[in-house]
Structure 1
């Protein structure tokens, strides 16, 4: 098997498992034990961490079918109730049907139909930033939630206090709770699920109970509102309405269960990811003002200073802004570790034995901070894409193999139009304390699936 951290009988490497920010520990282990793949044994379960673009391409792409399944995420799926999330489901006929309808709604061509809505939401965001710049993260979150609800359900949530946005917030917190290492212990050692909640080691199960209602509410609450508007004939164009119109289609009508779950997955996956990426953009512009100035100079040269606002037709004429977007995705990836895959049968790679049934995790952080591909990787440098035109697009930010994020195209459009619009209208600068001294923000992130 590939090398990895020290192991003890029965518990394996459990005592070495990081409690937070595991991608940094895994990247360090890759340097210490073996770069391409790190093997971790936890209570007899095997984890294979893929640390290089070369290994990721060979395993997830070329041998995609072997690596397309998912491990049984007992805690998230059974205890908290997120078995409806596409990213947590195994590779099955049901998942493939799920993926078909999701792709139908969010493929590259379909995503372009959302551009007018994204443009309008971005202009509203600019007004909010202008009026209350100190609340920038709240504005990003409210705008992201509003966009997702409009596209998925036709619901216009004009306030961050809207109950649908609050439901999404709590649902995302429930996912973060389930993704904690304490929750993952139930996945590695399912016997814990059979123990009473008061039993030592199983108490986390009791703590999960209050979160379960949000997993259900994320499906049902916005769906009921959207279906009522569709039935009354008052619904604006949206994904739920489009799917509802297919309920009675022939020869293979979509089920109502699928109508509920496709927009619910967008609702879950689209909010925090947008906020994370745009927060990183603002952090980068604060810490690297020279990149901000170069992007603004490019925008002024193409669009004109103080003229019209940029739109999607300007994208091809603004290569440096495009490089800023790429570097935002690479520098501090939204998901430093990909959601785990599962190897369906024994395999080999570069002389190593890879055991069937292993968890397989793409270490996106390690891939994006590989010094042989990205020199000085901790520096935010859009210039690197001009100095080395052969650098790949950071597609790993959207997952791997057959499980890559089907909402990728809309996510890129949303990130690009927000970045270019903020740069065209505003300066992002360090705040100052009561003595007028600049405050350097900390480059620190939360832990979890989305950071």
Structure 2
């Protein structure tokens, strides 16, 4: 081939030839094919559909498009293919059953290279580093191992309830503190001493910094990595400041706690934890730690993920109970019938409380914590229902649309735990013929959340404990008017309710006495 610089037709002619070459190559690849292109909205040259996608709450627009183009449709963003899945069945078909080619992640230079989260399991492509982290996490978080934390999770739920009783206006702050404390204890053995504990603050700062970076994989720097060489202030002051906080957060939630616990292990002062066990079991005779980066990264995943996603779910639970007191009372009656005022719930009670289980499932479904999930990338061309999905396509599993799919969840905007139950005489049990939100809330296939069993247990026991101890209601002003919460959620990778106030009134003196007796220190965390 003659180098372009010597091409006699000049730059314009060369461009035409290159376009013709691309068309011929595409036609050869699809010659004789009857495969259809994926449907989707028409976009602009070069820009594609980027101007049509809202900067916030884009899943609402995807819901609108799904009604026009179906449950699997195609977008273009600066020449890159984006495929949106809004159906649980299609997500299972592609991301689970064909997981061998749908389980990688798209390049995320903004997060990995510029913000410093190169180690993040959420952003890693398929490979040894990703698989190594998942193996270590599975060792501590598989269903059997997760049950070892049951008593600890119950203790943390009771501590949250006690502090909420002391200062109900601080419920959301205490919720974040306790969920972070749970993750810190499991990952590093750290004991959180107070609401202002530096480890809690580090996790909160990291979470907020990522919110300023926008939806994962969609920033222009992700599309054109060379743009990362430009000053960050060209994207605005908020973005530039967010990048500085993100880089600090990447260190504070990985290298910093790992280095601290490594020193404690060397001194023989470390509490039992995931990190201490892995460091001890991987220490070589010369004192070095084998697979050190993998261990550090896996532990940071527990810390960062546990300190954010679970927080949003418990905030949503309290909000739902405030807005639906009749549902709250039904769950409390079920708990009272089982516990008889003699004790607080434990995770061993879970199967005996179908209505409480249904409330938990509906909380997960009603306001999905990660509305668009985390993007997958397709590693080779695939055909689905006679439609071609091109290799390299970024695949978005639209969790929000799956959770609001009226085919599975009639009247989806209504908070209704009964959708998960069947009634037989005086009894009730969970239905097995209804789509279970836990089957899609935590992701799909080979990239499903490795900590889902621990998260589910932590969330459920918090829900059951709060229901046992409190009546949760909408507060009123001095004139008796209800102060309604804002149910518009903050947009980001993780969707959080906006700050709100709630009334947390102890259900009885006996409930408080049981709570005080059940926790290790009524005045501490």
Shorter-chain TM-score above 0.5: yes
Aligned to 1:392: 435
Find out whether 1:307 has 2:342 as its counterpart: yes
Secondary structure of 1:245's counterpart equals helix
Aligned mate of 1:88, from 120, 123, 130: 123
Superposed displacement of residue 180, structure 1: 4.1
Secondary structure of 1:290's counterpart equals helix
Aligned mate of 1:419, from 446, 449, 463: 463
Q: 1:128 and 1:347 mapped to 2: Cα distance?
A: 53
RMSD: 2.1
Aligned to 1:256: 292
Q: 2:217 and 2:389 mapped to 1: Cα distance?
A: 26
Secondary structure of 1:399's counterpart equals coil
Superposed displacement of residue 248, structure 1: 3.2
Q: 1:324 and 1:377 mapped to 2: Cα distance?
A: 14
* Structure-2 change in CA distance of 1:148 and 1:349 (3 Å): same
TM normalised by structure 1 equals 0.95
Secondary structure of 1:87's counterpart equals coil
* Structure-2 change in CA distance of 1:35 and 1:237 (3 Å): same
* Structure-2 change in CA distance of 1:308 and 1:177 (3 Å): same
Q: How does 1:195-344 map to 2 (within 5 A)?
A: 195=230, 197=232, 208-248=243-283, 254-304=290-340, 306-344=341-379
Aligned mate of 2:62, from 26, 33, 40: 26
Aligned mate of 1:159, from 170, 188, 194: 194
Secondary structure of 2:83's counterpart equals strand
Superposed displacement of residue 289, structure 1: 1.1
* Structure-2 change in CA distance of 1:205 and 1:182 (3 Å): farther
Give unmatched runs, 5+ long, in structure 1.
Answer: none
Secondary structure of 1:47's counterpart equals strand
Q: 2:218 and 2:388 mapped to 1: Cα distance?
A: 28
Find out whether 1:12 has 2:51 as its counterpart: no
* Structure-2 change in CA distance of 1:184 and 1:226 (3 Å): same
Contact preservation (8 Å) 2:101, 2:380: yes
Q: 2:448 and 2:198 mapped to 1: Cα distance?
A: 30
Superposed displacement of residue 6, structure 1: 2.5
Superposed displacement of residue 20, structure 1: 0.3
Deviations 1:10-56 (A, max 9, x none): 11111112110111111111112x22112110100111111001110
Q: 1:203 and 1:323 mapped to 2: Cα distance?
A: 40
Q: 1:258 and 1:273 mapped to 2: Cα distance?
A: 22
Matched positions, count = 448
Contact preservation (8 Å) 1:79, 1:205: no
TM normalised by structure 2 equals 0.82
Superposed displacement of residue 83, structure 1: 0.9
Q: How does 1:324-403 map to 2 (within 5 A)?
A: 324-387=359-422, 389-394=432-437, 395-403=439-447
Secondary structure of 1:49's counterpart equals strand
